[in-house]
Amino acid sequence: MAKKDTYRERTVYISGGSSGIGLACAKLFASLGADVFIFARRVEALQEAAALIEACRTHPGQRVAWTSLDVTDHDQVLSSLSRAIAEFGPPHVVIASAGLAYPDYFDRIPFAMFDQTVRTNLYGMWNVLRALIPSMKASGGHIVNVSSIAGFLGVFGYTAYSASKFAVIGLSEALRSEMKPHGIHVSVLCPPDTDTPGFARENLTKPLETKALGESAGLMSPDDVARAMLRGMERGRFLILPGMEGRFILAAKRLLPGVVNALMDRIVARARRAAGGR
Ligand X SMILES: NC(=O)c1ccc[n+]([C@@H]2O[C@H](COP(=O)([O-])OP(=O)(O)OC[C@H]3O[C@@H](n4cnc5c(N)ncnc54)[C@H](OP(=O)(O)O)[C@@H]3O)[C@@H](O)[C@H]2O)c1
Q: Annotated active-site positions, please?
A: 147, 161, 165
Work out the number of other CB atoms within 10 angstroms of the CB of residue 189. Answer: 29
C-beta closer to ligand X: residue 118 or 269: 118
Please identify the residue of the shown chain whose CB is closest to the bound ligand X: 20
CB of 85 to ligand X, least distance (A): 18
CB 112, CB 100: distance < 8 Å: no
Q: Indicate which single residue of 30, 199, 206, 207 sits in contact with ligand X (rule: CB under 6 A).
A: 199
Phi, psi of 143 (to 5 degrees): -115, 130
Interface with ligand X, residue 103, by CB under 6 A: no
C-alpha gyration radius of the chain: 19
Q: Which runs of consecutive H residues, i.e. helices, occur in the chain?
A: 20-31, 43-54, 74-88, 111-118, 124-136, 159-179, 197-202, 208-215, 222-234, 243-255, 257-274
Shortest CB 138 distance to ligand X, Å: 27
Binds ligand X by CB under 6 A, chosen from 146, 240, 241, 249: 146
What is the pattern of x (binds ligand X, CB under 6 A) and - over residues 38-77? Answer: --xxx--x------------------------xxx-----
User: Which residues touch 86 (CB under 8 Å, ≥6 apart)?
Assistant: none
Strand partners, 146: 189
According to the binding rule CB under 6 A, does residue 243 interact with ligand X?
Answer: no
Q: Which one, 120 or 210, has the nearer CB to ligand X?
A: 120
CA-to-CA distance for 259 and 3, rounded, in angstroms? Answer: 42
Q: How far is the CB of 29 from ligand X (least distance, A)?
A: 15
> Least separation, in Å, of the C-beta of 106 and ligand X?
19
Residues 73-102 that bind ligand X (CB under 6 A): 97-101
Biggest CA-to-CA distance, the chain: 62
**Quick one: 107 exposed, middle or buried, by C-beta within 10 A (0-12, 13-18, 19+)?**
exposed
Minimum CB–partner distance for residue 191 and ligand X (Å):
4
Span of 81-89, 133-141, 196-204, 245-253 interacting with ligand X by CB under 6 A: 196-204
Helix axes 43-54 and 20-31, enclosed angle (nearest 10): 30
Interface residue with ligand X, options 90, 191, 242, 246 (CB under 6 A): 191
Is residue 246 a contact point for ligand X (CB under 6 A)?
no
Binding residues vs ligand X (CB under 6 A): 16, 18-22, 40-42, 45, 70-72, 97-101, 120, 124, 146, 148, 191, 193-194, 196-199
